[in-house]
Amino acid sequence: MARVFILPRRSDIPSGYLQIKDLYPNKSNYSTASGKRLISNKLYITQPLAYTNPVIEQNGEGEYVLMETYSGVGAGLLVTKTNADGTFLSNAQLENIYNDIVTLMYNAGALDGASLAIVIANKIDIALNWTTASFGANNGWYGSTELLQVLAGTPFSVPAGTVLAPASGVLNSLDIAQYYSESGDTLLSNRSYFVEDSFRLSYLNGDLHKMLSSHFIAYDPNYEPLLCNDERYIEGAAITIYTEFGTVYSFP
């Protein structure tokens, strides 16, 4: 059964402001291990974490160590993407790639393997084959599915103390599955939704249909002064729906 990810189209709508109320039940919102609904996985549209630079220092052996927990898209790129010589990416490279990916998302651009490979090749000195598959070499972000999960709100954090590379700066082979978490479980699909009856109804005539419309109006809670006027309401599509391979979903 096909599954999709629902990502924000606009940066002005805060995380948790928009709720999708008509996608129940949805098997992808249950832990496959316990069969219980993930309490923390409410059907809210979330924004990706803003980019911050990772804090990295060398220890007495010359190893490159992450000094503070690092989360979000930047963390995924840090522990899986390298330059041509295998060294991990600089802060500038990480930030540039992050910005290009988020810009694609806000413009409803494709986030498939081909598009992501172009983004990477434009920012570092190697042409990566970032495929549409899930979990490629070194269990890294070599497929669009891993990125989509984090953009959709699946927490991804690399803990402080992680040794990223030896003194040579060549990125270690890291098992990144452990860095995905929600409710204490390692879950890789709990922010995706299966294309089943409730999804189709929502897409055709429900919450998803409204949020996909270019005439969707969202109230801006940050607008001042607190007076009722048209400037407090911003019009435009609020979401984009992506397939698990990073292409924009179209019905049926």
Each residue's pLDDT tens digit, 236-251: 999 999 998 899 999 8
Could you tell me if residue 115 is inside a domain?
yes
Alpha helices (runs of H) in the chain, residue ranges in sequence order:
73-78, 91-106, 113-123, 144-151, 197-205, 207-212
Q: Mean pLDDT across the chain, nearest whole number?
A: 80
pLDDT surpasses 70 at 82: yes
Domain end point (choices 129, 146, 179): 179
- Going by pLDDT thresholds of 50, 70 and 90, the confidence category of residue 220 is low
> Amino acid letter at 103?
T
The residue out of 131, 147, 179 marking a domain boundary is 179
In a domain, 51, yes or no: no
The phi-psi region of residue 211 (left if phi > 0; otherwise alpha if psi is between -120 and 50; otherwise beta) is: alpha
Whether residue 27 is found in the same domain as residue 90: no
Closest C-alpha among 136, 87, 79, 145 to residue 116: 145
State both tokens at 10.
Answer: 């606009």
Parallel, antiparallel, or unpaired for β 163-165 and 157-158? unpaired
Residues 6+ apart with CB under 8 A from 60: none
- Asked whether residue 249 is domain-assigned, the answer is no
User: Which tokens in the block code for residue 44?
Assistant: 């809210």
Residue 227 pLDDT > 80:
no
Q: Average pLDDT for residues 54-75, to the nearest whole number?
A: 97
| Residue 81 · residue 89 · CB < 8 Å | yes
* Mean pLDDT of the 69-93 span: 90
Q: Do both 105 and 31 map to the same domain?
A: no
The answer to whether residues 159 and 176 touch, using CB atoms and an 8 Å cutoff, is: no
Residue 132 binned pLDDT confidence (cut-offs 50, 70, 90): very low
Rounded to the nearest angstrom, the gap between the alpha carbon of residue 15 and the centroid of all alpha carbons in its chain is: 13
So what's the pLDDT on residue 86? 83
Dihedral class, residue 119 (left if φ above 0, else alpha if ψ from -120 to 50, else beta): alpha
- Please indicate, yes or no, if residue 171 is contained in any of the structural domains: yes
Q: Is residue 65 part of a domain?
A: yes
pLDDT band at 40 (very low <50, low <70, confident <90, very high): very low
The mean pLDDT of 156-164, rounded to a whole number, is 95
Contact present, 171 and 94 (Cβ < 8 Å): no
Q: With bands split at pLDDT 50, 70 and 90, how would you rate the model's confidence at 66?
A: very high
Quickly state the pLDDT bin for 68 (edges 50, 70, 90).
very high
